[in-house]
Each structure stands twice: as structure tokens, then as C-alpha cells.
Amino acid sequence: MTKELENSFVELLEKHQNIVHKVCRIYTNSQDAHNDLFQEITIQLWKAYPKFRGEAKFSTWMYRVALNTAITLYRKSKRRVKTQDFDTVLFRIKAEEYDDTTEQQLKVMYAALHELNDIDKALVFLYLEDKNYNEISEMLGVSEVNARVKMNRIKKKLRSILNP
């Protein structure tokens, strides 16, 4: 691949890398795993880049490849031990403006988010990223109605976790 292509790709990746980092945060629970997944997504993006024709926005295209890599292609390394009880403090910054109750609620919700299966995580992630149901359904390959119904179920589930 030409140097020019490489430069343009790295420039775009540097600019939009937050998307990849956020996918890594949702799907991994240690810094090592985060770095591994970031590396794999970067390779997959780079491999797919020559076919990127700019019909979609680079960021939209990136969401798709990054999520596909996390859901489908990535295998956790065996040398890593799965940490069930991950530290939510590491996962997110402590928001000073929240009171203790809200802080606790968020902590519980992030923990619940990590317990979801890969597909549900993708749904919530895209929702948190302000994607509309049309975009969500296109990325996952399910109907808009089904994505909406499933999202409502996840909301209910989260609500019941917070208010048992």
C-alpha cells in the first residue's frame, strides 16, 4: 500500500481514535486487553481502508469495523485472566458533579453493562453514542423495530437492577 494511503489513514485514525477506544472500553476490562483490541481493530481498519470509498463518513465506517472486530473477530488472549469483578473506577472518571447516590447508580449500571452479552453491549454502546435506530439496525443487521424492542428490554433490565 502506498505511503500516501498510509498517511491519510493514520491521520484519520488519529483524529477519530476515540471511537475505537470507546469500543475497547465496552468490550474489555483490563488495560492489556484494551491495548490488544485496539491493535486488532487498527489492523482490521487498515486492511479494509483501501475499499473505503468515502460514501459513508469515516467515523460511521469506523464504528462498523470496530464493533465487528470486537464482536466477531477478536479472541481474548489466553495468557490473560478474566477479571469478573472489574474496577468501575478505572472504567470511568469520577464525576464530581454527581452526588453519592448518582455515583453509586452509575457504578451499578456500568457493572451491569459489562455483564451484558456482546450483542446487547453493541446496542447500548451505539445508543450511548447517539446513533439512531436506523443506524443501529444497519450496523447490526437487525430490523429497526427489533433493535428498539430489545433496547427497551435492556432499559427495563437496568431499571430493575437499580430499583430492585
Partner 1 sequence: MDELELLKKDWKKQESSLPHYKAKELYPMLLKKSSSIVKWIFIISIIELGLGIILNIFMMDDNFWKELENMHLKTVTIIIYCLSYLITGFFIYKFYKNFKSISTTDNASRLMRNILKTRRVVKHYILYVLISAGITGLLFFIFTFIYPPEGIELNPESINWFKIIAIGVFMITIFLLILWGIYSLVYGILLKKLKQNYREIKKLEMQS
Binding of residue 55 to partner 1 (CB under 8 A): no
Q: Are 156 and 112 in contact (CB under 8 A)?
A: no
At closest approach, how far in Å is the CB of 71 from partner 1? 6
Q: How many residues does the chain have?
A: 164
Binding of residue 2 to partner 1 (CB under 8 A): no
Residue whose grid cell is 469495523: 65
Query: How many Å apart are CA 1 and CA 91, to the nearest integer?
Result: 36
Site string for partner 1, 59-78 (x = CB under 8 A): --x--xx-xxx-xxxxx---
Radius of gyration, CA atoms only, the chain: 17
For residue 58, give the nearest of 21, 30, 19, 32 by alpha carbon.
19
User: How many other C-beta atoms can be found within 10 angstroms of the C-beta atom of residue 118?
Assistant: 13
**Cα four-point dihedral sign 104, 84, 120, 23:** positive
Site string for partner 1, 75-114 (x = CB under 8 A): x----------------xx-x--x---x--xx--xx--x-
Site string for partner 1, 124-143 (x = CB under 8 A): x--xx-x-------xxxxxx
Binding of residue 16 to partner 1 (CB under 8 A): no
Q: Enumerate binding residues for partner 1 (CB under 8 A).
A: 6, 9-11, 13-14, 17-18, 21-22, 25, 38-40, 42-44, 46-48, 51-52, 61, 64-65, 67-69, 71-75, 92-93, 95, 98, 102, 105-106, 109-110, 113, 117-120, 122, 124, 127-128, 130, 138-143, 145-147, 149-150, 154-155, 158-159, 162
